[in-house]
Amino acid sequence: MSAGTGGTHHTHHTAGAAGSASEGPAGPGDSTRSVHAGRPPATPYEPSLPGPVFVSHYHLPGEAAGPYTYGRDENPTWDLLETAVAGLEAPGDGAAATVSFASGMAAVAAVLLSQVRSGETVVLPSDSYQATRALQERLESFGVEVRLAPTAGDAQVRALEGARLLWLETPSNPGLDVCDIRRLADAAHAAGALVAVDNTLATPLGQRPLELGADFSVSSGTKALSGHGDLLMGYVTTRDAGLAAGVRKWRKLVGAIPGPMEAWLAHRSLATLALRVDRQAGNAMALAQALLTRPEVADVRHPGLPGDPSHAVAAAQMRRFGSVVSFTLPDQAHAERFLGALRLTAEATSFGSVQCTAERRGRWGGDAVPPGFVRFSVGIEDPDDIVADVLRALDEAAG
């Protein structure tokens, strides 16, 4: 289902970001693939990306053999988007299939709840997105054992014995720790476990979990994949037809389907994905380096920083280092003064948008972060403007 071809190039970009990220002589580069992913062949007098198909039922004479039978089961607009995402997650691999969902959490829940049965064991990161960890209670109510271990240091490898599914999130949200996907996938498979990777922060242009041994690559399309802060979407991609069928059946039965307009908007937005993530990664590096000069700012984290604890592992498996920078200010009041003084940045609980957003993450509870911890998602604004605005806001907060 992929669009275009490509190699398995994993070399990271210096300064965490930009460049064409060419896949080598055998295939097109990332911008070319992003623009053309999932689009049908050029047809006279037809749009390059057909508009959304709004439908609840189809005309079905005789036997209901498809390919389209009912609006909760299939939709041509989903098909084009799913082909596009599969082509970015696994270029050149015709076996890869993507299933789209109404939100990132719908995609997360579909994998966890469709693949695990009572009496089995799931290993989750203790520092993952808090809504993913919140599924622990539901899984345990179904008779599933849930083990937690942190992302850093590949600590989950010690919790694999007897597990059915290992869930990784790398870089982790919001702490930005990184684990070695290949090492953990090999260990999990040796123990008989499936491996799912939340690839939301990295995007398929930042890392490709399926090429690193994962069975599932899962993303919230709400974030950088759609990139404009105006829709909810989720994806699951796998190379295994049986696993894809199980996830697709789960979507059908629980009705966690994306709207056709949202699917069309997400597909349209993919055309600028490479441009956006290159700019964001470069901007994130510029901001992180500026924050390192401030005495009141502690624990600056970004996987692209050479001194970051996660940099060595990230550089080995990531091609871009993402849009998120985290850091800690002295206390809650200081962080809130800083956030209130920003002029270019919205105080919002998401990341990956074209606009800078930031928040004091502790306001939600559920994350083991200090009261002054700030998660900053860097947009595509001019880097000098972003840095100047942040430094001015830090000055105001300190005054």
The percent of residues in the chain predicted with pLDDT above 70, rounded, is: 93
d(CA 122, CA 144): 7
CATH superfamily of 274-398: Aspartate Aminotransferase, domain 1 (3.90.1150.10)
Q: How many CB atoms lie within 10 A of CB 61?
A: 5
Which pair of structure tokens corresponds to residue 253?
Answer: 């039965």
> Is the confidence at residue 20, as pLDDT, over 60?
no
Question: Which of 26-30, 69-73, 89-93, 121-125 has the least mean pLDDT?
Answer: 26-30
> Is the confidence at residue 14, as pLDDT, over 50?
no
Residues 30-45 have a mean pLDDT of 96
Domain 37-270 coded CATH 3.40.640.10: yes
Q: What angle do CA 276, 3, 28 make, to 5 degrees?
A: 65
d(CA 399, CA 395): 6
DSSP 15-67: GG--S-----TTS--HHHHHHHTTPPPP-TTS-SSPPP---SB----SS---S
d(CA 125, CA 153): 12
Rounded CA Rg of the chain = 21
What is the tens place of the pLDDT at every residue in 271-314? 999 999 999 999 999 999 999 999 999 999 999 999 999 999 99
Residue 366 binned pLDDT confidence (cut-offs 50, 70, 90): confident
Cβ distance 305 to 311 under 8 Å? yes
Dihedral sign, Cα of residue 68, residue 74, residue 80, residue 86: negative
> Is the confidence at residue 15, as pLDDT, over 50?
no
pLDDT at position 365 is: 86
The percent of residues in the chain predicted with pLDDT above 90, rounded, is: 89
Q: Cite the DSSP H helix spans in the chain.
A: 30-36, 76-89, 104-115, 130-133, 135-141, 181-190, 241-254, 260-270, 273-291, 311-317, 332-341, 383-398
Question: Which of 22-31, 131-140, 182-191 has the least mean pLDDT?
Answer: 22-31
Nearest 10 degrees: CA dihedral of 210, 86, 206, 105? -90
Q: What is the pTM (predicted TM-score) of this model? A: 0.92
Q: Cite the DSSP H helix spans in 241-378.
A: 241-254, 260-270, 273-291, 311-317, 332-341
Residue 26 binned pLDDT confidence (cut-offs 50, 70, 90): low
> Is the confidence at residue 11, as pLDDT, over 60?
no
> Is the confidence at residue 13, as pLDDT, over 50?
no
Q: What angle do CA 44, 50, 52 make, to 5 degrees?
A: 160
Residues 200-207 have a mean pLDDT of 98
Which pair of structure tokens corresponds to residue 288?
Answer: 């992180």
Domain boundaries, the chain: 37-270, 274-398
Which pair of structure tokens corresponds to residue 182?
Answer: 């290949």
Residue 215 binned pLDDT confidence (cut-offs 50, 70, 90): very high
Contacts of 242 (CB under 8 A, 6+ apart): none
Residues 321-338 have a mean pLDDT of 98
> Is the confidence at residue 5, as pLDDT, over 80?
no
Q: Residue type for 295, please?
A: P
> Is the confidence at residue 267, as pLDDT, over 80?
yes
Residues 242-264 have a mean pLDDT of 98
pLDDT at position 18 is: 37
